Structure 1
Amino acid sequence: MLATFAATCLAQTASAHFLLPYTDQTQIERPGDVPMQLIFWHPFENGHVMDLAEPEEFYVIHGGEKTDLMDTLEQTSFEGSENAGQSYKASVPVKRSGDYVVVTAPQPYLEESEDIYIQQFTKLVLNRNGLPTDWNEVLDLPAEIQPLNKPYNIIAGSTFTGRVLADGEPVAGVEIEVEYVAAVPDMAQSSTTTPSVTTMPGGAVVAISDINGYFTFGVPRAGWWGFAALGAGKTTEFDGKELSQDAVIWVHAYEME
């Protein structure tokens, strides 16, 4: 049986950085190009927006095939509650039925306050017509969270289980920060909205991966939830400074009707 760790609230010295590839929909009914915006932000607290450089890679996996999406990127700005930061608009072609695993591999970001680089390998899964195909496939990224529940139709009040991997190998004892998109981005205005909840007392919400890399989190409400496994990757230095290669996945939860 898989041993899992329940999420707990632990005090943190800094708020969570999250690369958010945001879209209004995860379940696609009609074929077409799905608009998306890449934002490097603090969405739970509706806080500071970091400038996002052009990603090293931006692509989608469908039916086991990789399609490069770099040519869809358009530099823009996202207005948060505190400041505006560079972001990117993009589009994901969704034609046939099945899963579309959107992967963003950003350039390392220098967090000057901590004097370290952060690189978040980020996944988000779209689906068309309810046909599951690629959602739980391992992509052998430098840092990756493999979902064990379909990430585009989590039931609010149930749980989400993921497995932290580095180059396809499980990583034990990794701290996973949990984020909620409290202020849903307005894509038309490229700006934030009023938060629906406040941040938790005691700092970031955190889970720890077990000996086989697994973690489980109870999802309390509908909306977008993000999980960032900090420092999961094997590369720990960039340009003479410490590098944290994080694995990020976003899931969407719904209330049962």
Structure 2
Amino acid sequence: MTRFPLAALIALMLATPAAAHFQLIYNPDSNLEKPADLPFKLIFWHPMENGHAMDMGQPESFFYVFKGEKTDLTGALTPFTFKGAGNEALGFEAVVPVKRNGDYLLGLIPAPYYEASEDIFIQQITKTYLNKGGIPTGWDQALGLPVEIVPLNKPTNIIAGSTFSGQLLSDGQPVAGAEIEIEYLAAAPDMATNTAGPATVSPMPGGAIVAVTDADGVFTFGIPRAGFWGFAALGVGPDTEHEGKELSQDAVIWVRAYDLN
């Protein structure tokens, strides 16, 4: 995973391509017709290849925004053990009450994670979305996070075979020339058993899938198949140090694509 010169040096020394860490906020349902108390799993993982899972610390903040009103769920988070293909790791879960029609914008500021192989901390500030009733009520709004990707396509019903575009903001300002790593959720977590399913695709040869933002901080990627797609901009946040070590403050967004029936 390319971040900074140290990480690049490590990547050159490795015999196999580095896999991407991706913070996940997950529920299989992105579009609801009826009210529901919807559980979400927070997992720090390598979801494209069902790779190594990492222990999460107590998140700094977990919330949702509905029609401009923010509801804090940090105090409602409970820990659980997530079982990946090769190991177990600590994650967190909480329930989002979905009652009214419209867009629900979920945001997570996790605790920085120490990555010993790179001797840095990683903090992946993550967003995902759900909708009830098909009524748009603000999916394209920024959440005012230190670093974030704002969707330029409705993020809950992208057509597989079309494209997704997003704008990368750091401290509210567009970031030009930033690499965006792209991940497919190939091993969906089982909500009942907290285990990962088998990977449905193989990792791409040549390492991470990457797009680059333009002068306005915008990137576009062609979505080749249905499912959840994650986009991560690494090391672009305003905070660069934690506990005396380098901090990679990243922006992550997850969107949902469907096949046309």
**1:196 to 2:229 alignment:** no
Given candidates 66, 69, 75, the residue that maps to 1:65 is: 69
How far apart in 1 are the matches of 2:36 and 2:164? 29
CA drift at 1:176: 0.7
CA drift at 1:37: 0.5
Query: SS of the residue aligned with 1:34?
Result: strand
- What is aligned with 2:4? none
How far apart in 2 are the matches of 1:48 and 1:22? 17
- What is aligned with 2:30? 26
- One-letter code aligned to 1:113: S
Q: Which has the higher contact order (CA 8 A, sep 6+)?
A: 1
- Residues 44-80 of structure 1: per-residue CA shift (max 9 Å, x gap): 0110000011110000000100001123211000000
How far apart in 1 are the matches of 2:56 and 2:46? 13
The percent identity for this pair of structures is 57
Given candidates 41, 45, 60, the residue that maps to 1:56 is: 60
Which sections of structure 1, spanning at least 5 residues, go unmatched?
Answer: 1-10
CA drift at 1:131: 0.6
**1:246 to 2:250 alignment:** yes
- What is aligned with 2:6? none
CA drift at 1:14: 2.5
- One-letter code aligned to 1:143: V
How far apart in 2 are the matches of 1:65 and 1:134? 11
How far apart in 2 are the matches of 1:212 and 1:189? 43
CA drift at 1:216: 0.2
- What is aligned with 2:89? 85
- One-letter code aligned to 1:176: I
- One-letter code aligned to 1:57: S
**1:99 to 2:100 alignment:** no
| CA RMSD, Structure 1 to Structure 2 (Å) | 1.4
CA drift at 1:215: 0.2
- What is aligned with 1:255? 259
CA contact (8 A) 2:148 2:169 kept: yes
Q: Under a length normalisation based on structure 1, what TM-score does the superposition of the two structures give?
A: 0.94
CA contact (8 A) 1:139 1:168 kept: no
Question: What is the aligned residue count?
Answer: 248
- Residues 179-211 of structure 1: per-residue CA shift (max 9 Å, x gap): 001111111110011111111000010111111
Q: Under a length normalisation based on structure 2, what TM-score does the superposition of the two structures give?
A: 0.93
CA drift at 1:13: 5.3
- One-letter code aligned to 1:167: D
How far apart in 2 are the matches of 1:184 and 1:107? 23
Moved over 6 A (4+): none
**1:221 to 2:225 alignment:** yes
How far apart in 2 are the matches of 1:184 and 1:13? 22
